[in-house]
Chains A and B, each alone.
Chain A
């Protein structure tokens, strides 16, 4: 427990390098920052004016015993109020604008960076993690930094202003009051750090509760079958108990903190009242000044609290700041060289006029691939695939099939050796050049929210309705599409959630037909669907494969059998290679894989 706390404290060290990067996003809008600070000073000026107005009122009207000029005084008072109100509106607008622009800019940068990162990054980074960085972390940091930039400037100016006024009004009394401020600053910093730390513990406990609820629901049946409802309840109550303790501790810290600050303020007020009263008696100070003095002492503590709070928040947000900067700074493992970009364009805009046509000949020359962790997946891998040839990759999970496919797509680059497209190492061309001639259908087909037509048009933005229909017809998707409530204009829902897996697969195949790529990669689904849809999909796959260089990570017999060439991959090497008939005759690994799969499919068919 102790160790963990110490480690936390280490994590909370403010790393200025990180903050400088983030603050730069705000300082880009220098003019706006300055304008907002000026407005805030106006607001503070109004805050400072009230005690002065009161002082004037007491000295001039009440002590002087006259109402002369009360109208004018009232008018000035009201003008100050209105000026302050307008100031607040402008200030919130300015700081809010700064916040929104910062988060906008960070998100834009991060998004466009994410479009360029290689798949080795996506392999090790979960989408949930990225979403958290792009969502709450960016919001929180922008809010904090935008308002803090303004707040810090304000706090400094305001504090200096109050101190000067106090010292000018009565320097001895002023120094007396100021003696409290260092104590206050230290206290604030200490408590706010503790509070934020405790709040983090609360958040962790809270996410454990969410996790426990999730397990309680997902594992409800398992708990029942094991008859451990009571045990589960006990474990859950232990977690909620921890949460309760932690949350109360956090609340108690805040409950001590606020009164303590107020009381320190009260000490200052008391000191001012006491010494000031003595001076009033001695005739060294007038009553109005005393009243103003007391008002200022209370206002002095706001900026000091602000500064302490910002420091504490920075400490608490250190980790998220680092994560966001890390995301922005991660270099992509697959990058086009400057020369390639100059000639063929970057990942967003291709210089298509310079792009050579792709025939579709793919060669692996002595390719070795290993992950950053050093784990070797492929070793001295050689393979030549002629244009239009269909290659089926079979083998056990982890044999290296997916890696081969990723190398073809240049989602990974070889650690050693080279992959050539039409005889040229693909690193001498741009990624966009290769990838726009590539079709890829994944195990779990991915659709975007939008209509059926939108999803098909994803492959070819300028496709006519006629082209879209033809593609859908060719993969036998039109029947089900026309049965949807709005046909091609039916919304498919998030991730295509309103469609069945089979329907999604058909659409993703139609999408490839529209894009008409030279090279096609298919990662076949292992899970089976009903026989009827299955037959449609088989047929659609054959349609898409025709005439394209293709790589299929295959599981279905019909796909495997119809391939021009079957490669049995074992531990990153080609163990068997040939046509279905040749390999069956060998009675090797392919033979046993095939018979096993045959049994599965036939049993499945018989049981339906």
Chain B
């Protein structure tokens, strides 16, 4: 438990481990940054040298080897006659700086995008393997939001903000180490306003953050009103409220405009005042430089050098303040991601057996309760022989869905055992089990790909004929063929919208291609009309689907089953064949009466 405590260090460490594949690119980025800074500072040096010692007449003071090289060629006079040489040197420095800048961009993208991929893949891996109960308790929108925008925040932090911080610090250090030996006082002057600029940017950015939130809220209110207006357009029209709606929207639109404008103006003040500080710093260097130059302390080239350097230093400082104000956001995002990254996973505590499965199912005194207490199943006990069909009737909330979920190990029973061919399902390897127990869920989910691909998800190796066959059994082949693109028709937003019954039938086909020895239909014909229901059952009989569990409200669906269980409040209250149950007093017979009476009495005016 202690390891699960959300500590800041732990989650950053987890992220660090996660990105081990792309960590090196961050180091390369830093290296390239350092080199780029060095080269960036080189051309002002060359210019300064040119002005002082070639055009001007100051004695050259170059590192030994360079001095020797230039002297060998003819010294100042040679350079003065061939001014293209310093020009070329500037160009070379810029070129190398460019190459380094390119490397920095490339490496930081490789690092950042590598991080994104690693993080997203890890999140997805965690999501698909989180237990059913975990998914039921979380909200889709929130999870997706985290996996997208929070990942983006963390990436920006690592790839841009961190690297920008490093860059600014490196640039400042390099500049200072060049300036300091040349003239200490002027160096101090060149840095005098920088801390102020940094602190100002930091606090201003923090302050403006509030206005950002206000603007977001205001935009949210406007968006909500718009969305409600559009989705409720019929209501608006029939109450003839267009004018009031327009007035309401106008107010929100005005409010948003006013707040966004306020933010904009705050930003304007920020840019303006930090510009003043920055340029003031540059002017200060120039004035002090002039003063010192006139006094003869420094040369003209040095004045130019310091002017250039101080403008190169000033504006990144402003950026740095803003970034520092933003840093907390990344930690908040990572915390939200960490909750997914540490989500529980379906574990495999059992023996991981892969027995041959004939299809015998046995529930041995099974009870199930959610961790929060609500008991769903009480001492359920029954057995199905291989190849038999069992029908289950029960109201909503009677526990029939939970019952079949146990068979797929979506949940584990709190008491008792669920066995297949005598082996506890907890001992069967989970994926192996699920490949041998097919289930069609009550509200089946189809993926947004083609219908053919959706069916093939059951068994990717199934041939086209097998898929068509499964679709025919599910009585959906003709429907699919009637679409203009047949099996290649996309499902969902980018394609056709299938009706509830069509979805159920595609899901049945998907299960059928799995060819499992055990098939479960969890009320999966509810949206299909009675005739199609009958046709599908007929086709299923032809197909021999092995052990079959049918959950339904339709007596006509259930009556053919070898055994029928009637479930109420998590208990089996009746069991037997249709004939037996129809003869007994009880829920089954009541339903039978309701549904059968209509078959028999062919006259109208039935009272409810």
Contact = CB atoms under 8 A, between A and B. Distances in A.
A603 B595 contact: yes
Nearest to B238: A440
B294 A66 contact: yes
Contact of A442 (B147, B235, B243, B260): B235
> Among B116, B232, B242, B267, which residue has the most Cβ atoms of chain A within 10 A?
B242
A70 B304 contact: no
Contacts of B242: 115-116, 347-348, 432
Interface string A241-257: 10110011011101110
Interface residues of B, number: 143
Contact of A270 (B91, B246, B253, B438): B91
A227 B431 contact: yes
B113 A596 contact: no
Interface stretch (B195-203, B271-279, B371-379, B477-485): B271-279
Interface string A194-225: 00000000000010011111111111111111
A267 to B, nearest CB: 6
A211 B124 CA distance: 12
B187 interface: no
B354 interface: no
Nearest to A96: B264
A130 B268 contact: no
Interface string B423-453: 0000000111111001101001101100000
B98 A84 contact: no
Interface stretch (B99-107, B319-327, B572-580): B99-107
Contacts of B231: 127, 446, 495
Interface of B: 43, 47, 50-51, 54-55, 80, 83-84, 86-88, 90-91, 94-95, 97-99, 101-106, 108-110, 112-114, 116-117, 120-121, 123-125, 127-130, 132, 135, 138, 140, 143-144, 147-148, 223-224, 226-246, 249-250, 253-254, 256-257, 260-261, 264-265, 267-269, 271-273, 275-276, 279-280, 282-283, 286-287, 290-291, 293-294, 300, 303-304, 307, 346, 394-396, 408, 410, 430-435, 438-439, 441, 444-445, 447-448, 457-458, 460, 499, 510, 514, 530, 553, 587, 590-591, 594-595, 598, 602, 604-606, 608
Q: Which are the 9 A-B pairs with shortest beta-carbon distances?
A: A255-B105, A584-B604, A92-B268, A259-B98, A251-B109, A96-B264, A85-B276, A266-B94, A89-B272
A236 B121 contact: yes
Contacts, number: 402
A449 interface: yes
A461 interface: yes
A277 B286 contact: no
Contacts of B239: 435-436, 458-459, 511, 515
A229 B87 contact: no
B117 A244 contact: yes
B287 A269 contact: no
A584 B607 CA distance: 13
Interface residues of A, number: 155
A213 B143 contact: yes
A88 B105 contact: no
B580 to A, nearest CB: 19
Interface stretch (A105-113, A316-324, A360-368): A105-113
A interface secondary structure, majority: helix
A223 B128 contact: yes
Contact of B117 (A241, A271, A606): A241
Given A88-B272, A263-B95, A270-B90, A599 B286 contact: no
B140 A214 contact: yes
A271 B448 contact: no
A58 B147 CA distance: 58
Interface in A55-73: 57-58, 61-63, 65-67, 70, 73
A389 to B, nearest CB: 19
Contacts of B249: 108, 111
A81 B587 CA distance: 89
Contacts of B307: 54
A607 B121 contact: no
A494 B228 contact: yes
A608 B395 contact: yes
A115 B94 contact: no
A280 interface: yes
Contacts of A301: none
Given A233-B128, A244-B114, A442 B234 contact: yes
Given A107-B253, A215-B448, A608-B395, A602 B94 contact: no
Given A248-B113, A255-B101, A62 B303 contact: yes
Interface string A109-146: 00110111001001000010011001100000000000
Contacts of A73: 287, 290
A99 B97 CA distance: 37
Nearest to B274: A85
Contacts of B235: 440, 442, 446, 458, 508
Given A270-B87, A274-B84, A243 B553 contact: no
Contacts of B434: 224-227
Contacts of A66: 294
B90 A101 contact: no
Contact of A601 (B54, B105, B250, B608): B608
A207 B447 CA distance: 16
Given A119-B233, A240-B117, A88 B271 contact: yes
Contacts of A211: 448
A167 to B, nearest CB: 21
Contacts of B229: 111, 114-115
B243 A258 contact: no
A216 B124 contact: yes
A191 interface: no
A381 interface: no
B94 A263 contact: yes
A489 B97 CA distance: 66
Contact of B394 (A57, A130, A607): A607
A597 B177 CA distance: 87
A581 B94 CA distance: 94
A19 interface: no
A100 B460 contact: no
B283 A435 contact: no
A110 B241 CA distance: 17
Contact of B594 (A61, A458, A603): A603
A58 B90 CA distance: 22
28 contacts: A57-B290, A62-B290, A81-B280, A81-B283, A84-B279, A85-B276, A90-B268, A93-B265, A104-B253, A108-B250, A127-B230, A127-B231, A213-B148, A224-B434, A225-B441, A227-B434, A248-B109, A255-B102, A255-B104, A255-B106, A262-B97, A273-B50, A280-B55, A291-B304, A347-B242, A435-B240, A515-B239, A602-B608
Contacts of B303: 57-58, 62
A273 B241 CA distance: 71
A218 B127 CA distance: 10
Contact of A100 (B95, B241, B260, B346): B260
Given A348-B243, A587-B604, A602 B594 contact: yes
Contacts of B514: 226
Given A225-B439, A244-B117, A273-B87, A236 B272 contact: no
B388 to A, nearest CB: 22
Nearest to B101: A259
> Among A266, A591, A599, A603, which residue has the most Cβ atoms of chain B within 10 A?
A599
